[in-house]
Structure formats: structure tokens, C-alpha cells
Chain A
Amino acid sequence: KAGVTQTPRYLIKTRGQQVTLSCSPISGHRSVSWYQQTPGQGLQFLFEYFSETQRNKGNFPGRFSGRQFSNSRSEMNVSTLELGDSALYLCASSTPGPSEKLFFGSGTQLSVL
């Protein structure tokens, strides 16, 4: 079974631009979560989608948005980029259930200049 695939692996943008990141979950997984990783802050929860519906959202500004398609693939979008948005963005998929064991992709490293 293929793992979670995130594209692109690296992105360089300038302040004010917008960016779209893509995530393809493991086949059969219908839940996709997004996390932001920055040094010292660990993994900060952005949002979680299940069956095309956002089930949960973290404490991020409205510039961060996402969506999920009928094939469970997900995208997240960041508009009006700021320097502080530079981070590793991780996508994880899971089968819904009490264990919530997440399977992560390798992430997209976003640098905002």
C-alpha cells in the first residue's frame, strides 16, 4: 500500500503570495489532518477533514484553509503569506476510530522570503 504523499516537497514563496499544498492519503483512509511544524513549537494542529467535511479546526487565522475531495485527497491553502508561515507542513491520514493512529507524509517545507 502506498503511503501518504505530499507535494511539493519544497516551496519558496515571497510575502503576500498564496500557496496550495496537496496531500494524497493512504488508500481507504477517509480522514486527513494537517499540522504545522516549527522549531520549538512541535506539531500544531491546523484542521481535520473527513468525508469532505471539516470536522475540527486549530487556532490558526483564516488565511489558512483547506478542503477535501471525494477521493479523500486534500489540499490546504495559505493566502497572503507572512514570514512566520515558514514551516514544515505535514499531512496525516487515518481510519476513524478511537485510536486515531496517524500516518504522516514527508511534509512540504515552505519558506517565505
Chain B
Amino acid sequence: DQQVKQNSPSLSVQEGRISILNCDYTNSMFDYFLWYKKYPAEGPTFLISISSIKDKNEDGRFTVFLNKSAKHLSLHIVPSQPGDSAVYFCAATSKTYDKVIFGPGTSLSVIP
């Protein structure tokens, strides 16, 4: 039973436009959420995170939104650049959980 879901396996966006990657979770104990980016032949790298006490966190072109009542978060990339083409993993954890649970990933292609 997947506790973190990313229902879109892939997404294609034009350069300069907004990319929106979605993530849903089922475990209400999760209170900290992270996004990781992965290029081929490399390990995932941390991108941005959000605590459950916030509903938005912004870092440059990347913004993460959290809707706790819907158990949903999204990552917005504006403007999208070809170098953003990668697999994006949503992840969740909590203070009492001792492990980070990842979603299956969404492959983003930004077309020049």
C-alpha cells in the first residue's frame, strides 16, 4: 500500500511555462514533506521541503504548496527550464517515523 502517491508518471512542459507536479499521501502522521530531483546515473538531490505548519514554501523558481485537509502537495516550477528535465520524487516523514517514504516519481520533460 503506497503511502505517498504521484499519479502522473510523466509530464511534458514547454520551456518558460509553469510545471506543476502533484503528490498525495495517505498517512496523517506525516508532518514533513520533501521534494527530490534525480538525473539519470545520479542519486536524488534535495530540492525543497515544507513542514505541516506551513501551507507554502518558496525557493527561487520552486514553490511547494501543502493542503493538509486534502493530504495533497504540489511543486510548482516557474519558469521551467530544459535543465529541470529530471525525475521528481515526493517524500514524506514525521518526527516519530524514523524513515522517509518516497513516491514513485514523475518524469518531467521541459521542451525547448
Chain A residues in the interface with B (C-beta under 8 A): 4, 33, 35, 40-45, 48, 55-56, 58, 90, 92, 98-107
Contact = CB atoms under 8 A, between A and B. Distances in A.
Going nearest first, the 9 A-B pairs with the smallest beta carbon separation are A104-B43, A42-B104, A43-B102, A56-B99, A98-B95, A100-B93, A56-B98, A42-B105, A104-B44
Interface of B: 6, 9, 32, 34, 36, 41-46, 49, 89, 91, 93, 95, 98-105
Given A40-B9, A98-B32, A100-B93, A48 B99 contact: yes
Nearest to A107: B43
Contacts, number: 58
Given A40-B9, A98-B32, A101-B34, A35 B45 contact: no
Given A42-B6, A104-B45, 17 more contacts: A4-B43, A33-B100, A41-B104, A42-B103, A44-B102, A45-B99, A55-B98, A56-B98, A58-B99, A98-B32, A98-B95, A99-B49, A100-B93, A101-B49, A102-B36, A102-B44, A106-B42
B88 to A, nearest CB: 11
27 contacts: A33-B99, A33-B100, A35-B102, A40-B9, A40-B104, A42-B89, A42-B103, A43-B105, A45-B100, A45-B102, A48-B98, A55-B98, A90-B43, A92-B43, A98-B32, A99-B49, A100-B32, A100-B34, A100-B93, A101-B49, A102-B36, A102-B46, A102-B100, A104-B36, A104-B45, A106-B41, A106-B42
B44 A90 contact: yes
